[in-house]
Structure 1
């Protein structure tokens, strides 16, 4: 048995993803956003969450997946990415589970159209469930982080 990782499970379409609980600050319902001029298309804007301005990224747009309307189930997962917080728009945020690190494999080059650089691994949960684990530092590259930090000021 390897060490246990606790992850928040969320969905984009029919695919399930996970992000480590210790990187998640909070999960919020959708709320109005202020658009940031000249930001990349996947950056939907910023929100003011309890006095902190947080940039919001639509993960579907970031990963090049088909965009869809936001629903009552749509959530914003506020995560720590390096030294700042960012919100990730996901279709649903379902679950918190423990994963044995022995059940995490290296990601293939492309999973569901998403490049491996965005992924930490693929977790086998039970007999038939696979969970794609995100590498948050790669979801935003350094240049985009600096652009967001400038936009916040």
Structure 2
């Protein structure tokens, strides 16, 4: 799945994507990092919501009719990712993904798993598990 944040294309493996929803009312939760906008109630399931722009250290913008929430899930957690717009679903072959040279020890949160170029456009491939570490940290903090 390819989506847009600040006119840049990002991609996430469809195996993590549960659904894409329009913006819902977000309930603020005290003492969360600023990029964690709060929680939503999606069919009686409470899901934390992260603003992708803010998480990637970009300026926040007012949400509009194209802004949506991508609900993603790994083995342990679910989170809503607020993005500027969803672009398309495409098949990116693993051999078309160029790995990044970042060192995880140097960069505590490295969300970029790789980069692909399709039709002369670059997509940053995100690492869903790294993105979702904040949810695990939140759950650990709540349970302590």
Q: TM-score normalized by structure 2? A: 0.87
For the 8 Å contact 2:110–2:130, the answer to whether it is kept is: yes
Over the aligned positions, Cα root-mean-square deviation in angstroms equals 2.2
Please tell me whether residue 119 in structure 1 is matched to residue 126 in structure 2.
no
Residue number among 54, 59, 63 corresponding to 1:66 in the alignment: 59
Moved over 2 A (4+): 148-152
For the 8 Å contact 1:108–1:116, the answer to whether it is kept is: no
Counterpart residue number, 1:146: 137
Counterpart of 2:91 in 1: which secondary structure?
strand
Cα deviation, 1:124-148, whole Å, max 9, x if unaligned, reads 212x111101101112336x52314
Equivalence map 1:32-43=2 (5 Å): 32-43=25-36
Counterpart residue number, 1:90: 83
Unaligned ranges ≥5, structure 1: 1-7, 110-114
Equivalence map 1:21-36=2 (5 Å): 21-36=14-29
Counterpart residue number, 2:128: 136
Counterpart residue number, 1:4: none
Counterpart residue number, 2:93: 100
Instruction: Output the CA distance in 2 between the equivalents of 1:27 and 1:141.
Output: 21
Instruction: Output the CA distance in 2 between the equivalents of 1:48 and 1:131.
Output: 31
